Amino acid sequence: MDRLLTKANRTVGNMIVDTIISPSYTSAIAQIIQTPGISGVENNIIIFEFDKHQPDQLPQIIENLRMVQAGDFDICILGSSMRNMKYINGIHIWIRDLNRDNERLMILLSYVILGHPAWKNASISLFTLSPKNKMEETRNNITQFVLEGRLPVSRNNITVIEQDTEINFRELLAQHSSEAALTIVGFYNEQIKHEGQKHFEGFDEVGDILFVNAHDLLEIT
């Protein structure tokens, strides 16, 4: 608790810090999802963290994902790097489909993050992939979504990349988001079943990366 409070006092802004002592990682998660939030408000999101260079905690995190999802929580998994975060480099969001659950939560989270004083000069950039013959349509759809939601994203910060089967997703992030302060991508249960821990590894060329799994589709208006 003392160590956490020391870290909290170094940051700009306010936060509440608490700790739970539990006999196992799984029982600790079970306690957390049943603990009321601040002022009795129910919690709706849980953030796990692992060190990208020493991902020893990843197996425990993956093992407990189903239990957390059963409690109707949104889930974020932060892969932390040792790189100093340069807030001015902004947040890069990689989206696949605006009508799927994760993408809207990713955009909403980035909007909330920018409300912190440390991020006051940062901006949000959106990246997406599209077949060559639909690139302009994809750009228009994203632009319209941003306008309708009144989101702080400039049209100049929307990048549509032509799909190329010879370049994998990790290479794309390395090309476009290596300097970002924070990179946000979504993940789905099907991917975890297929890839397991490997799904969160191999992003060494980017700094901090936040993997997001939304429980429901959010309305942004």
Q: 156-179 b/e with 16+ CB inside 10 Å = b?
A: ebbebbeeeeeeeeeeebbebbee
Residue in this structure with the two tokens 């890839």, named with its chain if needed: 195
Residue 92: predicted pLDDT: 97
Going by their DSSP bridges, the two strands 74-80 and 208-213 should be labelled as antiparallel
pLDDT tens over the chain, length 221 residues: 888 888 777 776 677 788 888 899 999 999 988 888 777 778 889 999 999 988 899 999 999 999 998 888 999 999 999 888 899 999 999 988 765 678 888 988 998 899 888 898 899 999 999 988 999 999 888 888 888 777 778 888 999 999 888 888 999 999 999 999 999 999 988 888 889 899 999 999 999 999 999 987 666 55
CATH 3.40.50.300 fits 78-213, yes or no: no
Instruction: Say which residues have a Cβ less than 8 Å from residue 168's Cβ, sequence separation at least 6.
Output: none
HSE-CB of 210 using CA atoms within 13 angstroms = 25
Residue 220: predicted pLDDT: 56
> For the chain, what are the domain ranges?
78-213
